[in-house]
Amino acid sequence: MKKVVKFGGSSLASAEQFQKVGAIIHADEDRKFVVPSAPGKRFDEDTKVTDMLYACYALAEKDHDFTKEINRIEERYQQIIDGLELDLDLSSEFDRIIDNFKKKAGSDYAASRGEYLNGIIMANYLGYEFIDPAEALRFNEAGIFDAELTNKLLIKRLEGVERAVIPGFYGAMGDGRVKTFSRGGSDITGSIVAKAIQADVYENWTDVSGFLIADPRIIKDPKGIDIITYGELRELSYMGAGVLHEDAIFPVRKEGIPINIRNTNKPEDEGTWIVGNTCQKAKYTITGIAGKKGFASINIEKDMMNAEVGFGRKVLQVFEDYNISFEHMPSGIDTLSVMVHQSEFVDKEQKILSGINRAVNPDHVDIQSDLALIAVVGRCMKSQRGTAGRIFAALSHASVNVRMIDQGSSEQNIIIGVVNEDFETAIKAIYDIFVETRI
């Protein structure tokens, strides 16, 4: 058996955490490929090394002095090295990093050093080979990840390698420039490595005992999810369940490699299994709830819209012209709404409105801002009657006004739009009705 084990930032924030990780790896022969993140927070008010690196590079970019800031980062690593009593000196690495910062190597390069340095420490600590992902993880000139080429290069690079540490979060473009995934992207690296070595399992170790039905920052002690499908997980993580990066399932999904989310601080817990398919029923009608704030809805009205062929395409073309992707597009006979991320839309708002006016000459357009979207997800929902009814009864009971409803064609999710202020209340009401009261 071969397992890829990815450890998140909080699992590697200090020497004590490294020791827990070491014990986990040594407890199972099969844990052969290790993907570390950069050191995360040691306590609530602490700063992640990745954030420290971004801040430090912002100074370098403006030609400001960053000595104090880079020294603080070096201290964080030195504490880990000292705590583990390793014979390792990172000073030449730091000299090179400082030099590259001065040469303006880019913020992606800067951020990637968090994982790179942690990888060097981890490889030294475990006695595993260190592999720099810049050698094998490829992004094209547009900065888009090249999955096919990466898989080829990685298979070649890993040929004959028994055990290795491969830092998460970054790779490089063809010309050698370092490129990172979006935040939380070490989860994707773990999945890419799992595919390349055809792992039996991809273990993703974090600070919670698996995927929980709802965000623990909103629901106190939410129940855990034992087993969840890739599809359900993708919906939940896209909608804000932060445990696993929303793109992390793609490399393993086709290969049918299961992901097991585990807790570094409670290795005895079984955690959550993420699988292609399962005949196991979820414990509750729903598998999970997640959501995000900060959406705007552009509501367009025009008499006889239904008879106008190409109306929707013309509206969407305006959004495409301004490089804005839409989240949802609920429609009525004479109305159509386009939901977008408010932060992307706000600066282009007036241009888009006049574009819509020119394109379809509507009777009326209005914008609703500060909306939140909540996804209620579950593979068992389609075989249960009355699920939507229960959601809306619970929301009405909690005095939450529903602004938008959308059900995906897979019937495994119902998306609800509410105002930002009702976000937490709505999630609590839905959690209560399905999990606490189970009526």
Taking contact as CB under 6 A, which single stretch among the options 179-187, 229-237, 333-341, 410-418 is the one that binds ligand ASP? 179-187
Residue 102 burial (CB < 10 Å; 0-12/13-18/19+)? Answer: exposed
Phi, psi of 202 (to 5 degrees): -110, 110
d(CA 435, CA 132): 45
Binders of ligand ASP in range 20-59 (CB under 6 A): 37-38, 48, 50
Minimum CB distance to ligand ASP, residue 343 (Å): 18
**Residue 94 lies near ligand ADP (rule: CB under 6 A):** no
Phi, psi of 390 (to 5 degrees): -65, -40
Give the position of tokens 């817990």: 269
Q: How far is CA 203 from CA 68, 168, 170, 363, 435, in A?
A: 37, 14, 19, 54, 27
The token pair at 235 is: 């919906």
**Residue 431 lies near ligand ADP (rule: CB under 6 A):** no
Q: What ranges in 239-340 are assigned the alpha helix state H?
A: 250-253, 311-321
Residue nearer to Mg ion on the CB measure, 37 or 299: 37
Binding partner selected for residue 256 from ligand ADP, Mg ion, ligand ASP, none, CB under the kind-specific 5 to 8 Å limit: none
**Residue 208 lies near ligand ADP (rule: CB under 6 A):** yes
Residue nearest to Mg ion according to CB distances in the complex: 184
Q: Around Cβ 90, how many Cβ atoms within 10 Å?
A: 15
**Residue 8 lies near ligand ADP (rule: CB under 6 A):** yes
Residue nearer to ligand ADP on the CB measure, 208 or 376: 208
Binders of ligand ASP in range 185-224 (CB under 6 A): 185-187
Q: What is the dihedral of CA 361, 365, 367, 368, to 10 degrees?
A: -140
**Residue 184 lies near ligand ADP (rule: CB under 6 A):** yes
Binding partner selected for residue 294 from Mg ion, ligand ASP, ligand ADP, none, CB under the kind-specific 5 to 8 Å limit: none
Minimum CB distance to ligand ADP, residue 218 (Å): 8
Cβ partners under 8 Å of residue 219, min gap 6: 212, 213, 427, 428, 431
284, 379 Cβ separation under 8 angstroms: no
The token pair at 196 is: 């390349």
Binding partner selected for residue 183 from ligand ASP, Mg ion, ligand ADP, none, CB under the kind-specific 5 to 8 Å limit: ligand ASP
114, 133 Cβ separation under 8 angstroms: no
Residue nearer to ligand ADP on the CB measure, 49 or 208: 208
Binders of ligand ADP in range 14-53 (CB under 6 A): 37, 40
**Residue 215 lies near ligand ADP (rule: CB under 6 A):** yes
191, 244 Cβ separation under 8 angstroms: no
* Interacting residues with Mg ion (CB under 5 A): 8, 184
Q: Around Cβ 342, how many Cβ atoms within 10 Å?
A: 18
Binders of ligand ASP in range 98-127 (CB under 6 A): 114
**Residue 217 lies near ligand ADP (rule: CB under 6 A):** yes
Of the candidate residues 94, 116, 211, 295, the single one contacting ligand ADP (CB under 6 A): 211
Residue nearer to Mg ion on the CB measure, 184 or 258: 184
246, 238 Cβ separation under 8 angstroms: yes
Torsion sign over Cα 371, 376, 377, 379: negative
Residue nearer to ligand ASP on the CB measure, 186 or 299: 186
**Residues interacting with ligand ADP, by CB under 6 A?**
8-11, 37, 40, 184, 206-208, 211-212, 214-217, 241-243
Q: Rule CB under 6 A: which residues touch ligand ASP?
A: 9, 37-38, 48, 50, 114, 168-169, 183-187
